[in-house]
């Protein structure tokens, strides 16, 4: 299987949930045991300094259709955006990361992984219970016990804006329900960013024109399973989605640039919009980078024909060296949330300037 380990993207499909899966690369198909997937993925990670991304689906993936982005982006709500950014509190971001990374792990089949998502749903519900236009749902998946959590702010139109991040964690050194996987950066920081955006918008009593969804995906670390199921549902129902933004690791400052916009398997036009938002509102160094694989949940949305972007905390080759281990703690970020605050502000600017 060494030749497979060199593949930057592998798609895994199965017609039944079992121990054996078909691993399909660009030119060959292999029969592998499910327990071997992370070993292959980790070997790829070490060889290429990029996570060995893979997708698990119930049936072979069809060829994707290129997305034609017809949106006309504009940046003309500075007063509202600056007000929102002024409410971002680093202390709240830090406290959430600390709390969400305190579970033994958030693995997609573990008791603590299930409890973490149920606790998140309760937190989001308590934060927004004064708003009649906000609902929080736990989406239970048929093939694993960890739910995804979705908070929805109902808008006036049928169009949707999606901000997401995965809530599970993994320790690829010792994978399983028993392993210690705090996942402070990957991805308690991304869920903290989403939570702070929700808090700021509700504190401002922001009433959107379009419906806004905040999604904490289950089972990302084992093949983008939660997000793929959700994106497939949105595609099947022909839902109109103005844009999707992914937050996966927001608190490790590993590059000279502060924000790395991933340019493969994302939308070029929306990426340029994000760059303009950074220049206008954050005024920090940013640049483009590539994953070369299905590196996070944005891939699920892109593959299903939606406009999606992924803003990374650093360049891929300069990413947090402690992710997917027991050492993914706040210590790697010097026990601060300064970097995560930047992504929170970018997320607020994205929502407010897109919601027209």
The CATH number given to whatever domain includes residue 162 is: 3.40.630.10
Measuring CA to CA, which residue among 313, 351, 301 is closest to residue 69? Answer: 301
21 domain residue, yes or no: yes
CA distance 319 to 324: 12
Say whether both 175 and 46 belong to one domain: no
> Same domain for 194 and 330?
yes
Q: Which of 186, 229, 313, 318 is flagged as catalytic?
A: 186
Do 136 and 281 belong to one domain?
yes
Which structural domain, as residue segments, surrounds residue 16? 2-57
Task: Indicate which residue of 196, 248, 318, 353 is catalytic.
Answer: 248
| 353 is annotated as an active-site residue | no
- Exactly one of 324, 339, 353, 355 is catalytic; name it: 324
Active site residue 186: yes
Q: Quick one: CA torsion of 254, 258, 259, 264, rounded to 10 degrees?
A: -50
Q: Residue 65 domain-assigned?
A: no
Spell out the per-residue pLDDT of the chain, length 356, in tens. 223 333 334 444 444 444 555 455 444 555 556 666 666 655 555 554 444 455 655 555 555 566 789 899 999 999 999 999 999 999 999 999 999 999 999 999 999 999 999 999 999 999 999 999 999 999 999 999 999 999 999 999 999 999 999 999 999 999 999 999 999 999 999 999 999 999 999 999 999 999 999 999 999 999 899 999 999 999 999 999 999 999 999 999 999 999 999 999 999 999 999 999 999 999 999 999 999 888 999 999 999 999 999 999 999 999 999 999 999 999 999 999 999 999 999 999 999 999 99
Residues 226/234, Cβ–Cβ less than 8 Å: no
Token pair in block for residue 10: 């592998």
Identified catalytic residue from 166, 297, 328, 339: 166
- Residue 220 sits in the same domain as residue 273: yes
Residue 165 is assigned to a structural domain of this protein:
yes
Q: Residue 69: inside a domain, yes or no? A: no
For residues 258 and 329, membership in a common domain is answered with yes
Asked if 39 and 105 sit in the same domain, the reply is no
Tokens standing for 46?
Answer: 């070490």
In a domain, 201, yes or no: yes
Q: Which of 168, 175, 185, 221 is catalytic?
A: 221
Residue 64 domain-assigned (yes or no): no
Same domain, 220 and 346: yes
Answer whether 234's CB lies under 8 Å from 217's CB.
no
From 168, 175, 185, 220, active-site residue: 220
Q: What is the pLDDT of residue 90?
A: 98
Query: How many structural domains are present in the chain?
Result: 2
User: Is 248 among the catalytic positions?
Assistant: yes
Whether residues 296 and 151 share a domain: the answer is yes
221 labelled catalytic: yes
**Which stretches does DSSP call E strand in the chain?**
9-13, 20-24, 29-33, 53-57, 134-139, 148-153, 160-166, 211-217, 241-246, 259-262, 286-289, 308-312
| Range 286-290, long-range pairs (CB < 8 A, 24+ positions) | 286/257, 286/258, 286/259, 286/260, 286/261, 287/257, 287/260, 287/261, 287/315, 288/260, 288/261, 288/262, 288/263, 289/260, 289/261, 289/262, 289/263, 289/315, 289/316, 290/262, 290/263, 290/264, 290/316
Statement to judge: residues 257 and 345 lie in one domain:
yes
Q: Are residues 181 and 278 in the same domain?
A: yes
Whether residue 289 sits in one domain with residue 205:
yes
Task: Please indicate, yes or no, whether residues 49 and 175 belong to a single structural domain of this protein.
Answer: no
């Amino acid at each position: 299987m060494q030749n497979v380990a060199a593949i930057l993207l592998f798609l895994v499909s199965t017609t039944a949930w079992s121990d054996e899966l078909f691993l399909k690369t660009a030119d060959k198909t292999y029969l592998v045991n499910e327990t071997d997937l992370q070993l292959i993925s980790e070997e790829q990670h070490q060889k290429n300094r990029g996570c060995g991304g893979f997708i698990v689906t119930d049936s072979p993936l069809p060829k994707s259709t290129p997305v034609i982005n017809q949106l006309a982006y504009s940046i003309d709500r500075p007063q509202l955006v600056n007000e929102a950014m002024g409410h971002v509190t680093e202390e709240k971001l830090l406290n959430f990361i600390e709390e969400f990374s305190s579970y033994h792990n958030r693995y997609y089949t573990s008791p603590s992984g299930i409890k973490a998502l149920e606790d998140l749903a309760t937190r989001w519900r308590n934060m927004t219970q004064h708003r009649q236009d906000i609902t929080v749902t736990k989406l239970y998946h048929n093939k694993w016990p960890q739910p995804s959590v979705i908070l929805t702010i109902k808008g006036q139109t049928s169009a949707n804006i999606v901000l997401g991040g995965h809530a599970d964690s993994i320790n690829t050194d010792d994978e399983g329900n028993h392993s210690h996987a705090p996942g402070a950066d990957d991805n308690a920081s991304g869920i903290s960013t989403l939570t702070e955006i929700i808090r700021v918008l509700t504190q401002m009593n922001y009433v959107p024109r379009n419906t806004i969804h905040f999604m904490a995906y289950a089972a990302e670390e084992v093949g983008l399973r939660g997000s793929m199921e959700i994106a497939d549902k949105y595609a099947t129902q022909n839902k109109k989605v103005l844009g999707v933004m992914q937050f996966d690791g927001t608190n490790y400052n590993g590059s000279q640039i502060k924000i790395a916009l991933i340019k493969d398997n994302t939308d070029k036009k929306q990426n340029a919009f994000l760059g303009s938002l950074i220049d206008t509102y954050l005024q920090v160094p940013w640049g483009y980078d590539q994953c070369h694989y299905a590196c996070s949940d944005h891939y699920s949305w892109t593959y299903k024909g939606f406009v999606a972007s992924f803003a990374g905390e650093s360049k891929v080759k300069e990413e947090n060296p402690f992710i997917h281990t027991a050492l993914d703690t706040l210590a790697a970020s010097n026990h601060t949330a300064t970097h995560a605050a930047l992504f929170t502000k970018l997320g607020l600017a994205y929502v407010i300037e897109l919601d027209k």
